[in-house]
Amino acid sequence: MEYKQQIAELLSAKCGLDAEKIQSLIEIPPQLEMGDFAFPCFVLAKTMHKAPQAISEEIATGLDLSGTDLAAKNVGPYVNFFIDRSALSENVIGEILKEGLSYGSSDLGSGKNVIVEYSSPNIAKPFHVGHAFTTILGNSLARIYNKLGYNVIRMNHLGDYGTQFGKLITAYRLWGDEEALNEDPIKELLRIYVKFHKEEKEDPSLTTSARENFRKLEEGSAEEVELWQKFRDMSLVVFKKLYNRIGVEFDNYNGESFYSDKIPEIVDILNSKGLLVESEGAKVVMLEDEGLPPCIILKSDNTTIYASRDLASALYRYRTYNFDKNIYVVGNTQALHFRQVFAVLKKAGFDFADNCEHVAFGLVKFKDMVFSTREGNIVLLEELLDQSVSKTREIIAENAKTRGQDMSEEEIDDIAEKLGVGAVIYTFVKSGRERDIIFSWKEMLDFEGDTAPYLIYTYARTRSILRKGAEKGVNPDSGNLSLLTGDEEYAVIRALSDLKESIVKAASSNEPFMIARQVAAIARAHNRFYNNTSILNCDDEKLIAARLALCEAVCTAIKDGLDLLGIGTVERM
């Protein structure tokens, strides 16, 4: 990234074009032998009144590159730049070895607060794979922003309010089993919730009872609040166990209920600004000038809905955290909802609405997968993780047996857990977030494909090389990095050099896949180097030490990148 900026400044001084504009135009040549960067001269043709090829030749021969690590050459209408390989090796590997897992950190977000809202499951309902997308994506974004120096507030906006709790209270009083609730709270609460909907069709009085119970809950009636709190606390115990398994954490669990008593202020503000009107008994804000349907604030029975609670939460968050970004990691299906909420905030005069952002994502689908979930068509995340770990364990155990590796059952279990969970997580972050996720065991667990097992195996195998080097008395040495100038060595170093920029890009676009893509590029380049180069069996001990330093840098980069995605590594496989 620093070389790219340097090139942009050099070109700006030569041709007068803004350096920032130039930097956005700089390309990466398709082949390594064509250079590291290329600037297309077409954009200068009008101002310089010359053909792009003539311009590229003039710039390439006229640039003063003395005192830099760069060389320039015109290739047709492009000016191609070549970085001195020895210098790049020393700069990139030297920096990674020095900074370790802090590599890629910056103070870009120093003094800025970023709220990331993610996961947000509904209390008393199973945690299915649909919740996994927001949970895994949000966790990665929180890690990425933290890496860049932002003060990150991780929020789990629990679905712990609404008419469904009136239904649950009614159902529990009629059919609840205390013993079953203590043994498996989610299962028991789901059972009575499903039963309520079945019985409701035949008995309309149940609907009336549920509405009354929710009204009492909103008014703070002791009995209803006590039951609601019980359901909430029991559900959180189950959720937190799953969060621990996938390495996810939160700073608070302020769900919808937390903002219930803050809604009257929102209603007063909207009223005072003449924005709240009555429509079919409900209170709404008209948004036709925004090309949007009306946003309901209060239903006809004066109870609240998602929009009213999200408006209250946004105002509370701004007052509490003075956020620079308020990010909602919620599925594509809620795009209209957030457009309405942000539009209402803007109409009400809250300029922080411009700093609120809906980070949308696609759907979760399955390919050639059969689940035995008792809840019908719900695919539980825990069941998906269990199957992934089980299948991974079979592969690890078989490979250990084939290679004659002495591995204990406990070690195999630990490796299988990390690879199996990592395989699921990587499936959610390896592509653009708005693309649908299609699960396939064959693709997820392929040790040679674009998968977590491939990346973790690359890390473990490279750690093995470093251990073998130590056994021979040769350790990584940063004193001879200038020796790493071969094509395959250089390809690895180039991939490593782009990791820092991928982290910045991932944050600016809220796309963790940019990091996943770069880590995969590092692993592929390193494996080509590993397969085609004798790292330890070489007559030049200084070169061996330098290549081991490259291996150490690769391990650091892979571990660092995977950690930003929420994936762990293992030291051997």
pLDDT tens digits, residue range 205-220?
A: 999 999 999 889 988 8
**Angle, CA of 328, 165 and 309, to the nearest 5°:** 35
What is the per-residue pLDDT for 407?
85
394 alpha carbon, distance to own chain's centre: 29
What is the per-residue pLDDT for 377?
57
**Angle, CA of 552, 554 and 556, to the nearest 5°:** 70
Mean pLDDT (10-residue bins), the chain, 573 residues: 88 90 92 92 91 94 92 95 95 96 96 97 89 96 98 96 90 95 92 91 93 89 94 94 96 92 94 94 94 93 85 97 98 96 97 97 76 55 94 90 83 95 96 90 91 97 96 91 94 95 97 98 97 90 96 98 98 89
Tokens of 137: 């994506």
Rounded to whole angstroms, how far apart are CA atoms 158 and 306? 12
What is the per-residue pLDDT for 560?
98
Question: 390-400: string of b/e by CB count within 10 Å (b at 16+)?
Answer: ebbbebbbeeb
Of the residues 125, 147, 418, 430, which is catalytic?
125
In contact, 309 and 297? CB cutoff 8 Å: no
Tokens of 482: 């200038």
Catalytic annotation on 125? yes
* Interstrand relation of 151-155 and 113-117 (parallel, antiparallel or unpaired): parallel
Tokens 């007052």 — which residue? 319
DSSP state of 436: P
Asked: is 113-364 a CATH 3.40.50.620 domain? The reply is yes
Catalytic annotation on 526? no
Of the residues 46, 49, 50, 131, which is catalytic?
131
Of the residues 4, 14, 112, 128, which is catalytic?
128
Tokens of 297: 């604030």
pLDDT digits 0-9 by tens, 52-75: 999 999 999 999 999 899 999 999
What is the per-residue pLDDT for 478?
87
Catalytic annotation on 49? no
CATH topology of domain 2-83: Gyrase A; domain 2 (3.30.1360)
| CATH architecture, domain 420-565 | Orthogonal Bundle (1.10)
pLDDT digits 0-9 by tens, 256-312: 989 988 999 999 999 999 999 999 889 999 999 999 999 999 988 877 788 999 999
Q: Which amino acid is at 558?
A: I
Task: Record the pTM.
Answer: 0.91
Distances, alpha carbon 346 to alpha carbons 248, 259, 314, 323, in Å: 33, 20, 12, 16
What is the per-residue pLDDT for 1?
57
What is the per-residue pLDDT for 372?
40
Task: Output the DSSP codes for 527-560.
Answer: HHHHHHS-SSS-S-HHHHHHHHHHHHHHHHHHHH
Residue 80: φ, ψ to 5°: -100, 140
What is the per-residue pLDDT for 374?
38
What are the extents of the domains in the chain? 2-83, 113-364, 420-565
